[in-house]
């Protein structure tokens, strides 16, 4: 017998399709949110092309369990080019996004090494954050959420022409995840964004940023975790190699306050706050999460502050 929730989901899916058929043209980007009846639980019903959001087996984000990490001696150091890029910082109505302007950037920033077998070209940065300090990040560590998470996206430039071509193709996307912790002094590259927040208070607003140092966003660590997953927004394509660095970067309380003033809608229809723009964690379905931390050599030891002083161990899968 169908449960109440499954019946409700089915009715909502039919309702959405009827509305779409009766109102043309439709921009799918307007139909999803991070809460309510258009939130993550419904993404796979809103658009048939988003079915992976509900049915996929390699979805992201995930909860990273320190005791289940698998050491892989073949993992290489992660490499990002030092080139600076120019681009546009935008309030998309779903989040804060920095997209590179290829016409105004002399040298692309390539992402190589780590678990990657190909060269990936930097494309954009997404910022997820909460309206409170105990939520905001998409990935969790042992159930612990951070106030914000930065995701650096690149596309496989060895196999594909651009991000749009790569996003739904095998080994198409890499996402480098930086977890943010509250501190007295923020990451210097992060200030390129937070100093421009007054220009992007409303959805659809954007502002140019010149000479942005992508590499300087990264914390000083050679350690990371990696797994195969998906994009965390519709259509939830399962084409993403995730690399989560094993050390946080810092954001100040004042910068978080500035982010929390941003809103989802346009100035005339401001809607609610932009914050809490994170997808809940998804099941790993027995996917391995690998790491380049050699516990036999380096442990047991206290982990960086991103891991709340947990002692790491590498256990076999049950």
Q: Which CATH class is domain 41-291?
A: alpha beta
State whether residue 40 is helix, strand or coil: helix
129 given a catalytic annotation: no
Average pLDDT (122-130) is: 99
Q: How much is the mean pLDDT over the chain?
A: 89
Measure the CA angle with vertex 313, ends 307 and 318; round to 5°: 115
Interval 68-101: pLDDT, tens:
999 999 999 999 999 999 999 999 999 999 999 9
301 CB contacts (<8 Å, ≥6 apart)?
311, 312
CB 182 within 8 A of CB 252: yes
Q: What is the pLDDT of residue 218?
A: 99
Cα–Cα nearest to 119, from 108, 127, 111: 111
Interval 32-65: pLDDT, tens:
999 999 999 999 999 999 999 999 999 999 999 9
Query: 296: pLDDT confidence band, cut at 50, 70 and 90?
Result: confident
Q: What is the pLDDT of residue 87?
A: 98
Q: What is the pLDDT of residue 79?
A: 99
130 CB contacts (<8 Å, ≥6 apart)?
136, 137, 145, 147, 148, 275, 276, 278
**Which of 160, 202, 307, 312 is labelled catalytic?**
160
For 64, list phi and psi in degrees, rounded to 5. -90, 115
Cα–Cα nearest to 127, from 227, 258, 290, 265: 258
Q: Map 11-26 to HEC letters.
A: HHHHHHHHHHHHCCCC
Residue 261: C-alpha distances to residues 70, 97, 185 (Å): 40, 16, 20
Distance CA 261, CA 198 (A): 9
77 CB contacts (<8 Å, ≥6 apart)?
113, 114, 222, 292
State whether residue 211 is helix, strand or coil: strand
- Alpha carbon distance, N-terminus to C-terminus of the chain: 32
Please tell me the pTM assigned to this model.
0.87
151 CB contacts (<8 Å, ≥6 apart)?
125, 126, 127, 128, 138, 175, 176, 177, 178, 232
SS3 content of the chain, % helix, strand, coil (to 5): 20, 25, 50
The residue ranges of every structural domain in the chain are 41-291
Quote the percentage of the chain above a pLDDT of 90. 80
Cα atoms in the Cβ-side hemisphere of radius 13 Å centred on 251: 30
Distance CA 233, CA 45 (A): 14
The yes-or-no verdict on residue 272 having pLDDT over 50 is: yes
Cα–Cα nearest to 115, from 140, 84, 79, 163: 79
């Amino acid at each position: 017998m169908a449960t109440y929730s499954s019946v409700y989901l089915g009715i909502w899916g039919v309702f959405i399709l009827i509305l779409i058929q009766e109102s043309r043209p439709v921009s799918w980007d307007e139909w999803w949110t991070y809460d309510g009846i258009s939130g993550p639980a419904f993404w796979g019903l809103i658009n048939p092309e988003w079915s992976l959001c509900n049915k996929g087996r390699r979805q992201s984000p995930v909860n990273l369990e320190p005791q289940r990490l698998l050491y892989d001696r073949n993992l290489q150091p992660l490499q990002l080019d030092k080139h600076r890029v120019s681009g546009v910082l935008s309030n998309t109505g779903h989040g804060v996004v920095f997209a590179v302007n290829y016409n105004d950037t002399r040298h692309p920033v390539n992402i190589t090494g780590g678990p990657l077998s190909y060269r990936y070209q930097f494309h954009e940065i997404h910022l997820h954050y909460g309206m409170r300090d105990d939520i905001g990040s998409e990935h969790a560590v042992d159930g612990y959420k951070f106030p914000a998470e930065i995701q650096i996206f690149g596309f496989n430039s060895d196999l594909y022409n651009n991000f749009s071509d790569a996003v739904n193709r095998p080994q198409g996307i890499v996402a480098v995840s930086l977890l943010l912790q509250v501190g007295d002094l923020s990451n210097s590259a992060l200030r390129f964004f937070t100093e421009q927040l007054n220009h992007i208070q409303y959805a659809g607003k954007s502002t140019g940023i010149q000479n942005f140092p992508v590499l300087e966003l990264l914390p000083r660590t050679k350690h990371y975790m990696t797994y195969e997953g998906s994009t965390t927004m519709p259509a939830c394509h399962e084409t993403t190699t995730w690399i989560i660095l094993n050390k946080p970067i810092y954001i100040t309380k004042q910068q978080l306050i500035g982010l929390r003033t941003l809103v989802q809608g346009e100035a005339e229809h401001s809607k609610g706050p932009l914050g809490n723009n994170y997808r809940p964690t998804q099941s790993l379905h027995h996917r391995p999460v690998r790491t380049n931390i050699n516990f036999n050599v380096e442990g047991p030891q206290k982990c960086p502050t991103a891991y709340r002083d947990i002692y790491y161990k590498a256990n076999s899968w049950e």
